A and B are shown apart, each in its own frame.
Chain A
Amino acid sequence: MNWLTSFFVWMGEFFGNGANWSGPGGIPMRLLEHLEFSALALLLAVLLAVPLGLAIGHTGRGEVLIVVSANLARALPTLGLLVMFVLLLGTASIWPVIIPLVLLSVPPILVNTFEGIKGVDPELRDAAYGMGLRGGQVLGRVLVPVALPLILLGCRLSAIQVVATTTVAAYTGLGGLGRYVIDGFATKDYASVVGGSVLIVLFALVVQLLFALAQRVTVSPGVSQRVNVR
């Protein structure tokens, strides 16, 4: 149980150190940075992927794009992409790091939005048209609410990806909680490595929890089958 004792010693060292709780390198700042970068990347990805997924799912045009992006995104190594963009564009701003973050988080949302819209019962769609709704109204009032669980699932998967990649991106100079891990590892400051890792894991779990809650709140009770529709 040697490693367990050292784990707690490092935890105490990291979280017990008052200097770690203030200033630009302090836990609150790093946490905020991590949240900021992740949220920015996720927001941009949602803005790109949701409309595109809705359009492709609704019109049925451009499905090849979905298949290619789904497969490629899984195969592309995040670290390689980050290093490539930083070598190409330099580190003058955060964008060389944010761009790959966004690129990697688009596909899960895109694919799930598309699948969500595509999977809506055709009879439901026809009924909506039969009731006199126009294309855009059918999409907004019927297809999107029914597809919402899958769209949110896509966002959740993307969030998992973004939080993890933001951590890795600390290697290419981005701030956030990954700094503790990367810098600590480089300087053999294991209290920093362990403390930072625990913080990131907790951060990821909280994000998951928030998405699970968001799903409960935003998905129509009829769709989520929380009320029995028979």
Chain B
Amino acid sequence: MGDGPPSLWEWIGRNWDTGRAGSIKDLLIDHLTMSLVPILFALIVALPLGLACVRWRWLYQPASGLMNIVYALPSLPVFMLLISVTGLSQTTVIIPLAFYGVAVLLPAVVGGLDSVPDHVRQSAVAMGFSPLRRLLAVELPIAVPVVLAGLRVVAVSSISLVSVGALIGQGGLGGLFTRAYQNPFMPPVIVGIVLIVLLALIADGLLVLAQRVLTPWVRVRKGVAS
């Protein structure tokens, strides 16, 4: 093609689905996998850990201290150190992101459970709720807004952090950035940034929607009194 570099839209059209590895569509799917798995892992680990920290208070201080340290670790060197264990695979990117997720979500779970008013808990006890049923039917639903607020942070930052994995060849859409840098060309960078921000916004929107569905009483109460 001797007629200069392609325009942005031309480039997208030509690279969306090439059938070979590294098409935008492939990268998008990789990106989704590598960000969704850590989000789910964070939720699955942080919920019971948070419950344990509320049940046994002495556990919270060391757990949150450890999680603060985990959160402070820069992603790239952690990916690099993990390569010798898990190789140049998606797992190498997923594991650190999952732990960052737990670090963000743990305080949210504890804070959410702490936000359950004491009289509500006591009412549930008085009504003869078993501890398990009290947890599932009373405490967790009340904790939902705070937990979901934390999950939104986890989702958005996981989606954007995956792209750093491109530096070890596993970055989903981040691969567009390394490609654009090696062969200086702007369209891939724009497409990568826009798609990642869009994914983050969609994930954020879905979680906001989830909160509306899971906690209908919040909206009702807002209309009546604060």
Contact = CB atoms under 8 A, between A and B. Distances in A.
Interface of A: 3, 6-7, 71-72, 74-84, 86-88, 160, 163-164, 167-168, 171-172, 178, 181-182, 185, 190, 193-194, 196-198, 200-201, 204-205, 207-208
A80 B186 CA distance: 10
- What 10 A-B pairs are tightest by C-beta distance, nearest first? A197-B77, A164-B74, A75-B200, A77-B163, A80-B193, A200-B77, A3-B84, A197-B80, A208-B72, A74-B156
A181 B80 contact: yes
Interface string B163-176: 11011100101101
Given A86-B181, A194-B80, A79 B72 contact: no
Interface in B137-156: 153, 156
A182 B85 CA distance: 19
B84 A204 contact: no
Interface residues of B, number: 46
Contacts of A171: 167, 178, 181
B78 A201 contact: yes
Interface centre among B74, B159, B164, B171 (most CB of A within 10 A): B74
Contact of A71 (B75, B163, B204): B204
A194 B78 CA distance: 10
Interface of A is mostly: helix
Nearest to A80: B193
A162 to B, nearest CB: 10
B154 to A, nearest CB: 10
A75 B201 contact: yes
Nearest to A200: B77
A167 B74 contact: yes
DSSP class of B's interface residues: helix, strand, loop or mixed? helix
Contact of A168 (B156, B167, B184, B185): B167
Contacts of A77: 160-161, 163-164, 173-174, 177, 192-193, 196
A201 to B, nearest CB: 5
Given A74-B156, A171-B181, A6 B84 contact: yes
B157 interface: yes
Contacts of A200: 74, 76-77
B208 to A, nearest CB: 11
Contacts of B200: 74-75
Contacts of B164: 77-79, 168
Contacts of A72: 197
Given A194-B80, A194-B84, A205-B69, A75 B156 contact: yes
Taking each of B156, B168, B190, B204, which has the highest tally of chain A beta carbons within 10 Å of its own beta carbon?
Answer: B156
Contacts of A74: 153, 156-157, 160, 200
Given A80-B177, A83-B181, A87-B180, A163 B74 contact: yes
Given A79-B174, A164-B75, A178-B76, A185 B167 contact: yes
B167 A201 contact: no
B189 A75 contact: no
B84 A7 contact: yes
Contacts of A168: 76, 164, 167
